[in-house]
Structure 1
Amino acid sequence: MKFKYNLNDIPPFPELVLFGLQWLAIAVPTIIIIGNVVSGLQPGDPFFRINYLQKLFFLTAVILLAQITLGHRLPLITGPAAVLLAGITASQGTSTASIYTAIITGGLALFILSATGLFSRLKNSFTPRVVATILILIALTLTPLILNLIVGPGTSTTPLANLLFALSFVILMFVANRFLRGIWKSTLIIWAIIAGTLAYYALFPETHLVYTQNLNPVSLFFKDLNYNLTFEPGVIISFMICFLALSINDLGSIQSLGELIQPDNMPQRITRGISITGLANVLSGFMGVIGPVNFSLSPGVIASTSCASRFTLIPAGIFLLALSFFPSVISIIGSVPSVVTGTVLIYIMCSQISAGLMLAFNPTTGFKFDNGLVMGLPLMLGIVISFLPGDVLNTFPPALRPVMGNGFVVGVLSVLIMEHIIFKEQKNTDKKALTQ
């Protein structure tokens, strides 16, 4: 594919800024959505939410700039990892320090695996059926969280009104996705957040805009760092499984973009990119925020704009860095109603399911009955565990609760057992049959 600007080209300054603003419009919605969700899961006042978002903006900016200049050096956007959101959601009831200690541990393990070359051996365990199941599991195991955002007790209007609003809103998003083209389609999420927020406040005027008063116009936010490391084995095991999925997500994002723009030294780019992702998660754990990952939506943006220059992400990183020091601005752009957040998450998770199904129904390999069994059991177990009542989870031993009570972890372990143990002999038989 030919591009107007190739990987190492620097567009003229006006175009550089415009492309940077486009990447900014793509990065901000995910930061706001996941940041609002995670900060809402942790105890704290409105100032805590703003401080959390500031840290998340700062971390995303630093890692984005590091990846472009030192890491994979590809035009890949970075943002909070949804798979870690699944881990944090399932670890409620444990201490915040233990969660971020587990993120530090997982990030360090990922860095060591990548830097030493051991990750290349580990990734062979993640076959297309396993990866497809993981992609779908992320969406399905976040369903209880999405449901609580839309009709939970913290919402201001009646559950029925919120549900009707969410259904109408998500259908309109898919209509827009069907007919929009180019930059408008690439930035649909941010326009949906703006339109959905304005519509919700207009339809339900009793809902008050959440704006934190008495904020300094500019502030430093390097406080409340997580130096209280708390190692809980169950939480660490749970997040190690999440980091396995995160590493495959990171690898897939880098490889998919590599196939599009065909850069040189792809093995080195993958090693550097995943290594920096690991270090970024170590940093995020110390800062007390959810860790980042490279997003897989970048190839679509590049194909629609015909610009593959990595330098266009530098203005986006600078804008994100500047925003992180203005809490009043973040307070305004972060005042998205939980119903809108939940509805946009439905849209995003539908894309996640679509990616998983595309991988599962690969036309070159086909889809067999055994494929459905390998994927079906983990998906069912993940859903069942995710919807277990709280009083049932409380009967589990505390050490096992972060693992056995985490639908995503149970699903990933199940698909690995189904793929590499239960159906391993059948795969070998199939190979012999093909050679005869």
Structure 2
Amino acid sequence: MEFSYGIDDRPGLASLLIFGLQWLAVSVPLVLIIGRVVADLQTDGSAIPYLQRLFLLVALMLLLQVYLGHRLPLVLGPATVLLVGILASLDAGFPAINASLVIGGLFLTGLAATGLIGYLKRLFTPRVIVVVLMLIAFTLAPTILNLATDGGGIVSATRTFLFAVVFALALFIAGGFLQGIWKSTLALWAILLGTPAYIALFGAVAPPPADTALVALPGNLLAPLAVPDVGVLAAFLICYLALATNDLGSIQSVGGLLKADGMGERVNRGVIVTGLGNALAGLTGVIGPVNFSLSPGVIAATGCASRFALVPAAVAIGLMAASPLAIGYLSSIPGPVIGVVLTYVMAAQIAAGLMLGQESKAVETFDGGLIVGIPLLLGTLVAFLPPEVAAGLPAVIRPLIANGFVVGIVTVLGLEHIVYRRRPQDRS
């Protein structure tokens, strides 16, 4: 595949701004969707400052990756696997969650700096990666359902759910017809069109408070920290192993597409920057970032492989972070619209898992199907575990046993490397 601009080429100012705008259209919805879910969990009414800090972190990490990290045209944003960990650890409180993010980020940095991250390739076989990709989507199903039925106390849950179903069907139909950059930016168009449609049907959503400043940074950039329980920390470290695999795959997929040189060094630097970004995320009290695997599609659609095209996008995201009013309007997007867009993103992730399973022949045998199917079923069941059942578990192990993603990952690793290890004829 030929590109109009290579990795290290610098497009002219006009072209740079156009390509940057396209990357911005892909990046903002990804940051906003996951950020809104976590921001709504804050109990101190700090949704706008939270999103400001998150946008600021993403802007900084984009620039660091472009100039010091993997130096590839790769978009990044909040890691959905960490969203699963946060949702399962809310009982521990955000100070403990923040500290777990710091430790997890440093753990990831250490793996890359020492070269130990290479051993993850042996642990995370194609079957395990298939489960990781699909399990994230399945274990987020309760959160998506809550968003789809969230009428803000004004609209009935039934009406918002029906709106979400119809809107989701329209979104998937559009995804089947659109091509190129239109398909890559479909999440943005869904937000831009879904929000006025929701308002037309159910009335206006609450705007930002009248005293919201046009330009201002969040007052406190440092978040409270607390020593996490063993169970919480263990759950997050498992999430970070999955995050590392995601990061590796994203960097290698873009590097392979562009035939980039020095991929070993690019991978190590990229994961180190990702790890440090996650540690910084914990210090500032926001969800940690990861490189996204959708970047090759954007590159193919635009024909631009220049890493510098991400610089205008990063600057624009940083400017958004400096405007509480702009963030306030972004955060007022209705919950059902966010839920539908998150559904679309997770469906794409399931599709990626199925494609990987087919390409790697991971489920050619009955045992291979069990290795994938059992963890998915167990993880989904745990994700829908009634709160009273989870509350009855011992506090030390609750973050592990009540975390559907952790249960699924531990199960698939045990099945893949222990239970079926002595059946090489059944392995791909």
Counterparts of 1:24 and 1:164, CA distance in 2: 31
Secondary structure in 2 aligned to 1:24?
Answer: helix
Task: State the Cα RMSD in Å.
Answer: 1.5
- Number of aligned pairs? 428
Conserved? CA contact 1:73–1:269, under 8 Å: yes
* 1:75 pairs with one of 73, 76, 79: 73
Q: Cα distance, 1:210 vs. partner?
A: 3.4
Aligned to 1:120: 118
Partner of 1:147: 145
Normalised by the length of structure 2, the TM-score is 0.97
CA distance in 1, matches of 2:182, 2:42: 34
Cα distance in 2 for partners of 1:165, 1:266 equals: 46
Residue in 2 that maps onto 1:233: 230
Tell me, in whole angstroms, the C-alpha distance in 2 between the residues paired with 1:121 and 1:343: 37
- How far the C-alpha of 1:333 sits from its partner, in A, is 2.0
Distance 1:44 1:364 in 2: 48
Residue 155 of structure 1 contacts residue 338 of structure 1 at CA under 8 Å; is this kept in 2?
A: no
Q: Say which SS state the counterpart of residue 91 (structure 2) adopts.
A: coil
Identify which range, 192-201 or 179-188, moves more after superposition: 179-188
Instruction: Work out the CA distance in 1 between the residues paired with 2:300 and 2:390.
Output: 46
CA shift for structure 1 position 273: 0.2
Does the residue aligned with 1:293 lie in a helix, a strand or coil? strand
Q: Cα distance, 1:181 vs. partner? A: 1.9
Cross-structure match for 1:404: 401
Deviations 1:216-245 (A, max 9, x none): 221121505124332211110010111011
SS in 1 for 2:77: strand
Alignment of 1:12-51 (within 5 A): 12-45=12-45, 48-51=46-49
- Give, in whole Å, the separation in 2 of the partners of 1:211 and 1:368: 55
Pick aligned residue for 1:263 from 248, 260, 278: 260
Partner residue in 2 for 1:105: 103
In the TM superposition, what are the counterparts of 1:35-434 in structure 2 within 5 Å?
35-45=35-45, 48-152=46-150, 154-205=152-203, 207-223=204-220, 225-362=222-359, 367-427=364-424
- 1:104-138 superposed Cα distances (whole Å, 9 cap, x missing partner): 11100000010110111132110000000010000
Calculate the TM-score normalised by the size of structure 1: 0.95
Whether contact under 8 Å (1:374, 1:418) holds in the other structure is yes
The one-letter code matched in structure 1 to 2:10 is I
Asked if the contact 2:70/2:266 (under 8 Å) is kept, the reply is: yes
Tell me the amino acid that sits aligned with residue 3 of structure 2. Answer: F
Residues 91 and 402 in structure 1, CA contact (< 8 A), matched pair in contact too: yes
* SS at structure 2 position matched to 1:76: coil
Secondary structure, aligned partner of 1:251? helix
* Conserved? CA contact 1:170–1:347, under 8 Å: yes
Q: Contact (CA 8 Å) 2:135, 2:376: kept in 1 or not? A: yes
1:242-293 CA distance string (max 9 Å, x none): 1011000000000111111001100000000001000000000000000000
Residue segments in structure 1 that go unaligned for 5+ positions in a row: none
User: 1:176-213: CA deviations, max 9, x gaps?
Assistant: 111112221111100101111110011001x5333222
Q: Which moved more, 1:217-226 or 1:18-27?
A: 217-226
Quick one: which amino acid aligns to residue 142 of structure 2? P
Cα deviation for residue 155 of structure 1 reads 4.8
Name the aligned partner's letter for residue 15 of structure 1.
Answer: S
Q: How far is the alpha carbon of 1:364 from its aligned partner? A: 5.6
| Farther-moved stretch of structure 1 (405-414 vs 211-220) | 211-220
Find out whether 1:3 has 2:3 as its counterpart.
yes
Q: What letter corresponds to residue 50 of structure 1 in structure 2?
A: I
Shift of residue 154, structure 1, vs aligned partner: 4.3
Provide the C-alpha distance between the structure 2 equivalents of 1:125 and 1:340, rounded to a whole number of angstroms: 37
- TM-superposed CA distance for 1:143, in Å, is 0.4
Shift in Å, 1:90? 1.0
CA distance in 1, matches of 2:151, 2:89: 20
